[in-house]
Structure 1
Amino acid sequence: MDHPSKLLIGLTIGGRYEIIRKIGEGGMSHVYLAEDLKLPGKLWAVKESVSHPNQYNSIRDEAQLLISLSHSRLPRIVDFFPPDSDGYTYLVMDYIQGITLEKYFSGYRGRIPVDSIFQLADQLLEVLEYLHTNDPVVIFRDLKPSNIMLTEQLELRLIDFGIARNYKQEQTQDTVKLGTVGFAAPEQYGSGQSDARSDLYGLGALLLYLSTAGACSEWTQKAEKSIRSDLPRRLIPIIRKLLQFAPENRYATAAEVRKELAEVVRHEMKKPDLRQIRDLAVRNSTQVVAVMGASGGTGTTHTAIAISHFLARNHSKVALVEMNVRSPAFRRIQQIVNGDQPPAGGSRKFEVQGVDYWRQTARADVITLLSGSYNYVVIDLGTYRERDRLEEFLRADVPVIVASGAEWRQQDVKDMALSLSRYPQQKWMYFMPLAQHDAVQRLRKELNTTQVFSLPLNMDPFDKSEEMDRVLNHIFQGILGGTQRRRRFRFGLS
């Protein structure tokens, strides 16, 4: 950005919004995190933009546009400060906790789960349908990975309406040609006025980008060959139609595209799941314990480590797998184990007290482990937020949810159970470190399950704790073990 920011940490805007830190910047703006001094603890995003006097109207237009909209996938504007004498203006809006699709995509090295691609497309079409049926119609015009935020639950939010506009029936082409090269429709560069079909082109470019691991965002001769082999082939003609050069050859509405994608999903669901058949076969000899946090800061990794070493102490061969792409925990443990020596060949596997740790592990590697020599594979899934990790949780022999023992945070686990109510929950276990007896009983009643347990204080999950072993023996009695291969291993009350 050519213009320096006027905002500093600790500065207060309008006597109410105290700047905490910078969280982003774009071509014509900076974005800061701010605390509301009238509502202590409440955080907002403050977008600082600067423009020349003849562009002041565009800043006001963005504010008025956003203020007029109301949708769960759009940021809510709560305050607006018009241009000062230097052209600086400020929008105060919802602070969306999460990461951009760009960073999420990068974290998966371009191969995000197939389910996630369809989920994101459906959410995008939901909000586009709202914008395109608004009065007046609103065209976003800049669908790209960096303008899409994802919450911890993989809920999508559109951000940065800097070039959005109202569709004007009387115009033959856009007054200002704007958009990101590779994602913007041809008409945004002078061949006509952008309309709802321009956003659908942007959706097609985004889908192609996600489907080719970032190799393509425009339809070329190599595009179809670059589409991932694990994606349904029925998706290809949909993407091609979205990316037609002439708007009249594309889909007319977001609702139409949404219906087409839903048909693809329904068709795929009718196919036999060969992966499930294969997984069931290999799991005859290996049991899976999947550990997922209901929210951040519950001790998910700590609990997964404690369970793994408990199993290993009972003469079992155990693998502890990290499937949280953002977590630095296993890397730090590996550094401690190796000391100053880098891992041989960059290996992601290391051993601690009889447990094999597998750092930053992809799902394909987990399937390999399941067909190996392990009695148990314990998967650290991190916090509940992403559908691919949710799938591993649902498919586990023993799905464990780690929830805070504090009563004031129990709503997190209740919200999670409610949001996943369409799935069978009979096998689910809820572990609550340091929870009081009353809190456990209350949650059992509210979740209608007896599978809620308090875990004792366990400062070092790697070492044996008589109290923790007693509790885990009680919890897992009759659940783990039981195959011919694992008869030497028995759970019982001590």
Structure 2
Amino acid sequence: MFRMYALVVSPERTDQVRQAIQGDIVYESDETLDSESTRIVFEAVARVSARVLIVDMAVGPGRALIAGIRHYRIARPQTRIILLAPGREPGDQTVAQLVGLGVYDIIPGANDADWTELVRTTLQKPAATFAQAARWHVAHSLNGDFTVRERVSIERVPLGTLTIAVAGVAPGVGCTHTALLISNYLSQLGRRVGLTEIAPRPALASLSHFLAKERGGYWQLGRLDIYPDVDLNTDLSVTFTDKLSRRFRALGQSGKKYEYLVFDLGPLSPAGLANENHGFYRAVWQELLRSSLPVIVGSGAPWRYADWGFLLHSLRERQDAALVIAAPTGDQAGEFSEQTGLSVVSLPFSDPFSLTSDVKTGLAKLVNPVVPIPKVQKPSLFKRVSQLIGHG
């Protein structure tokens, strides 16, 4: 099965791990890291959506690896993490703590082992469970005693900047409108949101010039910051997020931090995507694949069902992609789901800056995978007793 992989591997094992992989490598770090660069690498890889993350313990200091993987696990709780543990044995303090963070696929071996075969064999198996990793969850103390590590329960909160990429299956289906709805909804939740347009025929930029207030190189529309003039078509090895960061620095806003960046990708043409030499479409497609949340917008009209086919087939690896029917008539969303077997979010037509309750309900469902889950605080024993006395 085709999968997307992220690699944080030491230089001496990079080639061997690559040979074991059958799929797309969406992120790769092949350097020996210090504590600070380890933090930076794990913040970067957390912004990329991958099904499997392979981490070599030889890349950096143990404490930095624990901190980096903890941050990654918070941002990507569903990703399978495979740990290469050369020269490590059960009882290792670092491995024990990583098991507590939900890292169960552990590959031990000598430094000169055949890591290609070891990784390939692991990838052919289902993801490991805690029961299989339990022997690693016991750490030796300095005096030879054993300590059973506590398993960690992690609350889902965003790490760094999350990206939401919105693409249309055809022109005129409401891609820009949906991007505006998502951006404004997140800003109303109190999030810091930046919005930019990557479509070949800019609509958002034109809207900004008419409605927005210029802020020296970007536009402010409501509570949103819009960057319509970013050169995103060159240097395809650099992600759009990194290009925007360069833009912020050029505008003297290097200190500006966004929790979410929303990309309006416009319609993705099958002809453009099929042309491997079309650099723009290749870059847009990669951004859609690596985004924290891909959003696909299309029509719910029965005669437009065929528009969805190519894009959904190409996106089959991203089963978490959100499907949207913008401004449906009648029960088009329900009929679409019944006919295609696909779950879609219905977004009734709305002024993107004056959201109705129905639209908010749809948007809440849409962005749920990338919005923090609030931690429910149980009332203290003292408060519960006080309430009982008060009702007595």
TM bucket, shorter chain: 0.3 to 0.5
Q: Which has the higher contact order (CA 8 A, sep 6+)?
A: 2
Which structure's CA Rg is the greater one? 1
TM-score, with structure 1 as normaliser: 0.38
